[in-house]
């Protein structure tokens, strides 16, 4: 059975490469913008950690003369499908996106949910993202069927969870009309709304653990329910970008047993039009500093370069990324 590994420590030692023969990019100053997600999610940390590694390499380069000239910012955004749309329009240079929406964008297979963009290119995947249904302590919800008649946040348009929630709703033959109310709150608003009793449940695709979910679980005893019926099994069997995932007991105050659900991978993408040197310098900055990168968020602890350059990627690799992976002997 396909499985997303959240907890097994399987870090691969990354050799420190020497770069005597590499001619550094003679790039002039180049500003790049990375699309992330809500400020309490993990994408925001992904984008800002990548910028941090790029700026770290820039500081090293000022000492050694290996200059890349890249300056980076990673603002908070609406999430996966927003990021892909903005990359296609040249408004963002890079973005974090769920592996399901990467697949549908490059294949043009869900044009109602993500803009078809065959020039989408992959760099690497990051952490696994289980799909969570988080329910209020007194909501009486313990499975998907109990959501009927409840106030449910389906996520803001542009977020990955909004699209994945809609796919799951279709698979369960649940329409928004089956809920008492379907709200479109952002990832930052939803936990507070749950704790304030304004909604009964919300859907969220996100890395484990994270601050936003903790606001609800640790703050007002919200629970994460299992999603492991034949419906989810059907999705995992049918689609390459879904796999089962376990949110381990003890992750949050209310996770007293393992939670089984399905999920996707967070991936890092750009456009085929993106400059090859910039992509090369970005992946180099991340992988030369992978130990530092892993320490920047608990969801990154088990990142393994051998898996990152392959798992969850359905768009072709950008040539700048491929060049670095080949130099490392990883491909
Ligand atoms: N998976 C979410 C999305 O695609 C974002 C999760 C996060 O911000 O970490 O919108």
Does the CA dihedral 198-200-204-208 come out positive or negative? positive
For residue 65, the CA-to-ligand 1 centroid distance in Å is 37
pLDDT at 14 over 80: no
Q: What is the pLDDT of residue 21?
A: 40
- Which pLDDT belongs to residue 6? 73
Residue-level pLDDT at 3: 81
Q: Whose CA is nearest to atom 3 of ligand 1?
A: 160
221: left (phi over 0), alpha (psi -120 to 50) or beta: left
What per-residue confidence (pLDDT) applies to 2?
75
pLDDT for res 284: 98
pTM: 0.93
Structure tokens given for 253: 């105050």
* Buried/exposed code over 108-126 (b: 16+ C-beta within 10 A; e: otherwise): eebeebbbebeebbbbbbb
Average pLDDT in the chain = 93
Q: Residue 8 burial (CB < 10 Å; 0-12/13-18/19+)? A: exposed
Which of 40, 45, 102, 205 to mutate to test ligand 1, by most ligand atoms within 8 A of the CB atom? 205
167 CB contacts (<8 Å, ≥6 apart)?
A: 100, 235
Ramachandran angles phi, psi of 142, nearest 5°: -125, -5
Check whether 222 has a pLDDT greater than 90: yes
**Residue 276 alpha carbon to ligand 1 centre in Å:** 26
Q: What is the pLDDT of residue 1?
A: 63
Region 29-127+266-327: CATH code: 3.40.190.10
Which residue has the least CA distance to atom 6 on ligand 1?
206
Please determine, for residue 301, whether its predicted confidence score (pLDDT) is greater than 50: yes
Are 60 and 67 in contact by the 8 Å Cβ rule? The answer is no
Q: Where are the alpha helices (DSSP H) in the chain?
A: 43-64, 80-88, 99-107, 160-171, 187-195, 211-220, 230-238, 276-288, 290-294, 305-308, 319-327
Q: Which pLDDT belongs to residue 57?
A: 96
Residue-wise pLDDT for 54-105, tens only, equals 999 999 999 999 899 999 999 999 999 999 999 999 999 999 999 999 999 9
Q: How distant, in Å, are the alpha carbons of 23, 261, 304 from that of 8? A: 38, 17, 11
Of 62, 4, 2, 25, nearest to 277 by C-alpha is 25
- In the predicted model, what is the mean pLDDT of residues 271-278? 98
Angle, alpha carbons 278-114-76 (nearest 5°): 55
In whole angstroms, give the CA distance from residue 215 to residue 200. Answer: 15
From-to residues of CATH 3.40.190.10 in the chain: 29-127+266-327, 130-264
pLDDT over 80 (residue 49) = yes
Kindly give the number of the ligand 1 atom that is closest to the alpha carbon of 98: 4
Handedness of CA 111, 114, 115, 119 (dihedral sign): negative
Q: What average pLDDT does this structure show over 263-267? A: 98
The CA 266 to ligand 1 mean position distance, Å, reads 8
Residue from 178, 177, 225, 219 nearest 201 by CA = 225
Pairing of strands 94-98, 259-271: antiparallel
How far, in Å, from the CA of 39 to the mean position of ligand 1? 10
Question: DSSP readout, 269-312?
Answer: EEETTS-HHHHHHHHHHHHHTHHHHHTT-GGGTT--HHHHTTTT
Residues counted in the chain: 331
Q: What is the mean pLDDT of residues 319-324?
A: 98
Tens digits of residue pLDDT in 106-147: 999 999 999 999 999 999 999 999 999 999 999 999 999 999
Beta carbons within 8 Å of 64's beta carbon, 6+ residues apart: none
Residue 293 has pLDDT above 70, yes or no: yes
Q: How confident is the model at residue 12 (pLDDT cuts 50, 70, 90)?
A: very low
The correct answer on CATH 3.40.190.10 for the domain covering 130-264 is yes
What value does the mean pLDDT take over residues 296-318? 97
Residue ranges lining ligand 1, Cβ < 6 Å: 37-38, 41-43, 79-80, 98, 129, 159-161, 187, 205-207
Strands 151-153 and 201-205: parallel
DSSP run (H or E) holding 128:
strand 120-135
């Amino acid at each position: 059975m396909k499985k997303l590994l959240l907890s097994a420590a399987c870090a691969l030692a990354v050799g420190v490469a020497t770069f005597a023969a590499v001619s550094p990019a003679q790039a002039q100053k180049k500003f790049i913008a990375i699309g992330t997600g809500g400020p309490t999610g993990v994408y925001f940390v992904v984008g800002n950690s990548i910028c941090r590694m790029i700026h770290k390499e820039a500081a090293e380069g000022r000492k050694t003369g290996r200059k890349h000239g890249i300056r980076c910012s990673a603002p908070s955004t609406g999430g996966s499908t927003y990021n892909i749309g903005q990359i296609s329009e040249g408004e963002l240079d890079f973005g974090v996106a769920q592996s399901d929406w990467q697949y549908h964008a490059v294949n043009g297979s869900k044009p109602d949910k993500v803009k078809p963009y065959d020039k989408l290119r992959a760099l690497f995947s990051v952490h696994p993202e289980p799909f969570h249904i988080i329910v209020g302590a007194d909501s009486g919800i313990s499975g998907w069927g109990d959501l009927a008649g409840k106030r449910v946040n389906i996520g803001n348009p542009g977020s990955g969870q909004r699209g994945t929630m809609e796919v799951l709703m279709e698979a369960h033959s649940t329409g928004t009309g089956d809920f008492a109310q379907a709200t479109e709150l952002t990832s930052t608003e939803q936990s507070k709304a749950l704790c304030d009793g304004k909604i009964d449940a919300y859907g969220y695709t996100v890395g484990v653990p994270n601050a936003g979910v903790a606001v609800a679980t640790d703050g007002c005893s919200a629970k994460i329910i299992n999603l492991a019926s034949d419906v989810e099994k059907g999705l995992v069997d049918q689609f390459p970008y879904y796999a089962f995932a376990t949110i381990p007991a003890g992750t949050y105050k209310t996770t007293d047993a393992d939670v089984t659900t399905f999920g996707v991978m967070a991936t890092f993408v750009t456009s085929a039009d993106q400059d090859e040197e910039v992509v090369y310098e970005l992946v180099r900055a991340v992988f030369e500093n992978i130990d530092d990168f892993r320490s920047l968020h608990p969801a990154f602890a088990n990142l393994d370069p051998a898996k990152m350059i392959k798992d969850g990627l359905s768009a072709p690799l950008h040539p700048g990324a491929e060049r670095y992976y080949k130099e490392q002997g990883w491909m």
